Amino acid sequence: MIFAYTMMVVVGFLLTAVKNWTGVQILCGKPLLMLFLLSAG
């Protein structure tokens, strides 16, 4: 359980920080929803 929590913290950080570091658009809208549904299932 601690590993899953740690991975979610890392993924959440990367989803918010990547845009600032690289200028690349992050996932939003339907693609982000699909990623969430795949990871939750």
pLDDT attached to residue 41: 67
**Residues 21 and 13 sit within 8 Å (Cβ to Cβ):** no
∠ CA 23-15-31 to the nearest 5 degrees? 95
**Residues 17 and 28 sit within 8 Å (Cβ to Cβ):** no
Which token pair is 37?
Answer: 């549904």
Kindly report the pTM of this predicted structure.
0.46
> Higher pLDDT residue, 24 or 41?
24
Show the 3-state SS of 1-41.
CHHHHHHHHHHHHHHHHHHHHHCCCCCCCHHHHHHHHHHHC
- Report domain extents, the chain: 2-40
Query: How does pLDDT run across 3-29, given as a tens digit for each residue?
Result: 889 998 988 888 788 777 888 777 788
